[in-house]
Structure 1
Amino acid sequence: MPAKNGVDGTLYCYPNSSRAQLIQISAQYGGSDVKLASDFEFGVTNKSPAFTAKFPFGQVPAFESSAGCLNDTMAIASFVGGCDLRGGDEITRATITQFMNMAETKLFPAACQVLYPCWGLMPNNKNVVNKGHENIKNFMTVLDQHLLNRTYLVGESVTLADLSLAVYMRDLYTMILDENRRNSYVNVTRWFTTIMNQDEVTRVLGQTTLCVKPAQFDAKLFQQNNPKQQKNAAPKKEAAKKEAPKKEEAAPAPKKERSAPFSSLPAPKLNMDDFKRHYWNDPSEVIHKYFDDTFVDGEWSVWKVEYKYQSELVKTTKTNNLVKGMFQRLETMKKYAFGLMYIFGDEGDQRLAGIWLGRGGDNFFYEDTNWTIDIENFNCTKMDMNKPDEKALWTKFIDGGMDDWEGKQFEKDHIF
């Protein structure tokens, strides 16, 4: 799991908030332990006396830590993200702040003008929507020129400038900016996909799928979200109409549905969603306790995997892409498995190995033919959790303590 060397605290916000996601991603970079308040109810919790005593304005996101309470998205992201995301000198910090403010005051309002009608949160006022499109176009055009010869917005590494703009831009790229529109902003698109594919970002957001067909105003959804009060009116008397009996038609032959993976197995004691939730949010002892209390051999199994062709691993970027490509092709396996893939060693002499927890007692990669594409390139060894040395290897991976493999020092981790 990510090294925890930042700050610990509780984040209060409503579900699927891009502001909360920005804070969670920043915490990944800063090694901070940010837990979402599980009992938060928007409009209730943030209006309670206990909440307003800590956060007088009653707004969210709100962050509570031993160091104090914060009530602004960019301030919280900066606090939990650490000094590397904030910048190393005064002009760099000021420039990063400039882009963060643009994300909040220019990009976000324009995006809302376009996206809210698609979500049924706002009527389809064409003037408002067209103005939003115009503002987005102007913003993206300037940003595209800025990124002409730059990988990142400020400096030579990811900063809060990149994260704040990219997170606020994500819904536009997934819902509005189809290929034709993306071609107008090739530099922004290249930068956006670079940020979205950072490990720290995908851990929070998962994979980002670019828009194929732009979303439109959903009148039915808007009516559901904004129901009109019906006036009481006397019901009209209508003559009962007798329907002519319909001719019976031959029922079509039922389609043979493909059974879900592992559907023949009984319900397991260990719940994968719960396990992953513990892994990301709780200390190691909580993760191990949950595993020890719920793991049943045969319901789940643990496997060590080692890449067969280690001599081919000569460049870290290519090894990273190898793992990322594998994870993308295993997307449908996520609710059935959890994996840690580590890269060890310097360029030219690397090792790729990992540990996996998956459904059933056999090699779960072979449950679906779509999952076997990459695993054929790995030696897979089933681990016995009753053997101390094999249980110790599992524990060391979960604790983030795998510092070397065959004498090669840890270089990079990938988490499935």
Structure 2
Amino acid sequence: MTPFATIYSYPQNFRVQRAHALAALGGLELVDAPNFAMGTANRSEEFLAKFPMGKVPVLETSDGFCLAESQAIARFIAESGSKAEQLLGADIKTRAKIEEFSTFAEQEISANIVPPLVMTLLKIIPFDETRYNQCLGSLERAVKRLEVALKTGNGKFLVGDQLTLADIMVAGALHLAAKFLMDPELLKAAPSLKGYLQGILEIPEVKGAFGELQFCEARAKGQ
């Protein structure tokens, strides 16, 4: 049977893990592009003809439909599967709240976990303490916002009483942050968050995409 789509990226990209979780939830077969060499394959003429920015992750369906930008990819997969109404919402207000948290995941969480990890773990750019502290401060602010949502809701899901795209987008980004940045000091700001993440990331389809959830004792720091 032909897979629903192929996704192109480097290994252990949390944005790709989110896509795999959504595909599994929706009963879709999503495969990773084999032997994809970042830095060369994404600069080839063939790749750039389909994806002119040369960025990853990008997705190509079995019928040749090409899509870039991870938030758009996640939404497309969610809408293509068997749980579209649950994941995206059955009414306009629910859909709007799901979109709110999905955007929040990219702009307030992902945008503030990637620079510190690029500086401290990958060391692609020099460590900048000012930038690092700004990102960690913004991440703590985002965590506090999630705590408010969990306390005003049921504590299990961000929108309504069942799993949605909002949870996959947020928990997917925080799965990476937990391992390297979310130490006990940061978690003090959101006492409900740890249990929330454990609940989401124990859902079989989600766990299958991300693996075990780990919290660091000390955040990654540069010199």
| TM, length-normalised to structure 1 | 0.49
Look up the match of 1:212. 217
- Aligned residues of 1:175 and 1:215 also touching (Cα < 8 A): yes
1:58, CA displacement in angstroms? 2.4
1:183, CA displacement in angstroms? 2.9
For residue 170 of structure 2, give the secondary structure of its aligned residue in structure 1.
helix
Pick from 47, 50, 53 the counterpart of residue 43 of structure 2: 47
Aligned equivalents of 2:52, 2:124: Cα separation in 1:
27
Pick from 100, 108, 111 the counterpart of residue 109 of structure 1: 111
State the percentage of identical aligned residues: 29
Matches within 5 A, 1:343-354: none
Aligned equivalents of 1:188, 1:60: Cα separation in 2:
29
| TM, length-normalised to structure 2 | 0.88
Pick from 1, 4, 7 the counterpart of residue 11 of structure 1: 7
Aligned residues: 214
Matches within 5 A, 1:261-340: none
Gaps of 5+ in 1: 220-416
Amino acid at match of 2:9: C
Residues 214-235 of structure 1: CA deviation (Å, up to 9, x unaligned): 2222x5xxxxxxxxxxxxxxxx
- Bigger Rg over Cα: 1
Pick from 150, 156, 162 the counterpart of residue 157 of structure 1: 162
Amino acid at match of 1:143: L
1:205, CA displacement in angstroms? 1.6
Aligned equivalents of 1:215, 1:53: Cα separation in 2:
38
Aligned equivalents of 2:158, 2:141: Cα separation in 1:
17
Matched, 1:79 2:76: yes
1:171, CA displacement in angstroms? 2.1
Matched, 1:132 2:129: no
- Aligned residues of 2:21 and 2:209 also touching (Cα < 8 A): yes
Pick from 52, 77, 84 the counterpart of residue 56 of structure 1: 52
Aligned equivalents of 1:60, 1:216: Cα separation in 2:
26
Aligned equivalents of 2:185, 2:111: Cα separation in 1:
23
RMSD: 1.9
Aligned equivalents of 1:105, 1:64: Cα separation in 2:
25
For residue 152 of structure 1, give the secondary structure of its aligned residue in structure 2.
coil
Residues 102-148 of structure 1: CA deviation (Å, up to 9, x unaligned): 11112111112332222123322111111111111111112111110
- Aligned residues of 1:147 and 1:153 also touching (Cα < 8 A): yes
Residues 378-407 of structure 1: CA deviation (Å, up to 9, x unaligned): xxxxxxxxxxxxxxxxxxxxxxxxxxxxxx
- Aligned residues of 1:27 and 1:33 also touching (Cα < 8 A): yes
Gaps of 5+ in 2: none
Instruction: For CA contacts below 8 A with separation 6 or more, give which structure has more relative contact order.
Output: 2
Pick from 22, 32, 36 the counterpart of residue 36 of structure 1: 32
- Aligned residues of 1:145 and 1:187 also touching (Cα < 8 A): no
For residue 184 of structure 1, give the secondary structure of its aligned residue in structure 2.
coil
Aligned equivalents of 2:108, 2:182: Cα separation in 1:
17
